[in-house]
Amino acid sequence: MKKILFAASESVPFIKTGGLADVVGSLPKNFDKEEIDVRVMLPKYACMKEEWKEKLEFVTKFYMDYNWSGRYVGILKLELDGITFYFIDNEEYFSGPKPYDGGLWDIEKFGYFSKAVLRALPEIDFRPDIIHCHDWQTGLIPVYLDNFRFANEYYQGIKTVMTIHNLKFQGVWGTNEVRNITGLPDYYFTSDKLEAYNDANLLKGGIVYADKVTTVSNTYAEEIKVPFYGERLDGLMNARSNDLSGIVNGIDYEDYNPETDKFLANTYSVDDFRKEKVKNKVALQEELNLVKDPKKMMIGIVSRLTDQKGFDLIAHVMDELCQDDIQLVVLGTGDEKYENMFRHFAWKYPEKVSANIFYSEAMSHKIYGSCDAFLMPSLFEPCGLSQLMSLRYGTLPIVRETGGLKDTVEPYNEYEKTGTGFSFANYNAHEMLNTVRYAETTYYEKKRDWNKIVERAMNEDFSWKTSAKQYEDLYNNI
Ligand code: ADP
Ligand code: GLC
């Protein structure tokens, strides 16, 4: 039996700001329970949902040296769907209204978390064979582990995997501050280790010291070796290319299931979507005060509203797009300029555009289960889960061919009658608009073909089955 510890800054159902939480909360359930004992360690945020906080059970507590004083480390736990989740408790660090604040405070608190994860192991009597770290917030785990090994036999032989969910976020701050806070020796702060471009870089530390590095799609694993996608670490990615691989994400096929989804007005399946799915669209049109018309093509967006997701392309052609015979339903929060852009167009075209500038799990399910198409023209996309959810609900993704979008959406080929969505190659607003219009023509003029695409989309399998097996193989090969 292999023992694996996941360490991450978010996980469903406890706390979520993006796809990372979906992955950390759903992948562990899909490992072979006879082969792998996987547990998960997270920060205990005060902003976590109350219903979960009250279920946590106290395990133990101790004090740990960090940033020049003895810091409290409480450990709580909860078993859910057969997986043990541990929570690191420290009110000073994890009491904010959100998991991330940005700036030096984030560096300090996730440095604390990384050290506490390692120090907690002997206390909970779980010595993992492998610690699987996710994103920059856990980048210092492989570094501290390297450091602890010298003095403490307990830590010798523990291996690490570092998964990059998004290379854009690296956890970077001035070397002196980071050295001072973390207490790591000078030795680590050189350009072949933690340092990059004269600053300390937590993700880089993780990538340098991890035994294996993965990212969340094959295409992204290749893309980050070139400067355009490499976020100034493409050199390092090339240097570690023998240990770097891409494993595409899956989604939770129980949580996201059009046949049982409790958020939908009407459930449906691949056998009856032709009749049943449209009822959801009408219900959503009513809920959002759009024109009630089952025939109208409805395009959905569920996203963090940031540059990553291609919203400058959308902003550029929004007026043109709104001339078309479509409805656009947006759910998202993020950069103010994009929030206001969608508010503006919802004001200008109230019967066509609905801007829902908030976070809502329920509304996200309604959009996946009601729209005809889903727009995701990302500038870069390590994997992307929204397009997988859309495929599952027969809502055809319109995507740019990058990262995981390229690996999971097969563009419609009207001659060969293949494909599960629509895609375009270049980061160009009119190329995107043309592709949206091609989808519109297919929807309005070739309804039979459209429904065939929907059928193929719904028959795809993006559950965790295949990818969980790939992670198991990776663990076995370390
Ligand atoms: P990223 O992690 O880059 O944000 P992904 O596509 O991997 O992108 O995952 C996004 C996840 O967050 C999906 O589960 C999506 O449904 C969800 N999501 C994004 N914005 C919202 C929102 N405003 N309300 C509800 N869910 C959202
Ligand atoms: C990141 C990426 C997204 C990916 C998610 C989960 O947030 O932006 O593409 O799907 O992590 O791996």
pLDDT along the chain (478 residues), means of 10: 98 96 98 97 96 97 98 98 97 95 96 98 97 98 97 97 98 98 98 98 98 98 98 98 98 98 98 98 98 98 98 98 98 98 98 97 98 98 98 99 98 98 98 98 98 98 97 97
Give yes or no for residue 9 CB within 6 A of ligand 2: no
Burial class (CB in 10 A: 0-12, 13-18, 19+), 274: middle
Q: Which of 248, 229, 240 is closest to 205 using CA atoms?
A: 240
- Specify the pLDDT at position 27: 98
| Helices within 349-464 (DSSP H only) | 361-370, 386-392, 403-408, 429-445, 447-459
Give the domains, in start order, of the chain with CATH numbers. Answer: 2-250+465-477 (3.40.50.2000), 273-461 (3.40.50.2000)
pLDDT at 423: 98
Task: Judge whether 303 and 386 are in contact, CB under 8 Å.
Answer: yes
Dihedral of the alpha carbons of 170, 174, 176, 180, in degrees to the nearest 10: -50
Q: Which amino acid is at 70?
A: G
Contacts of 384 (CB under 8 A, 6+ apart): 19, 376, 378, 399, 403, 404, 405, 408
Atom number of ligand 1 nearest to Cα 249: 7
pTM: 0.97
pLDDT of residue 425: 98
Q: What single letter denotes the amino acid at residue 237?
A: M
Given the CA of residue 165, which atom of ligand 1 is nearest to it?
2
Measured distance CA(36)–CA(266) in Å, rounded: 38
Ligand 2 pocket residue status of 20, Cβ below 6 Å: yes
Residue 143 DSSP label: H
Nearest-angstrom CA–CA distance, 218 and 211: 19
How far apart (Å, rounded) are the C-alpha atoms in residues 345 and 375? 16
Centroid of ligand 1 to alpha carbon of 18 (angstroms): 5
State residue 260's pLDDT score: 98
Does ligand 2 lie within 6 Å of residue 382's CB atom?
A: yes
Angle ∠(320,326,331) on CA atoms, nearest 5: 90
Q: 464 CA distance to ligand 1 centroid (A)?
A: 18
Which ligand ends up closest to the CA of 24?
2
SS3 letters across 162-212? EEECCCCCCCEEEHHHHHHHHCCCHHHCCCCCCEECCEEEHHHHHHHHCCE
- Our measurement of the distance from residue 281's CA atom to the centroid of its chain's CA atoms, rounded to an integer in Å, reads 27
Cβ of 364 closer than 6 Å to ligand 1, yes or no, is yes
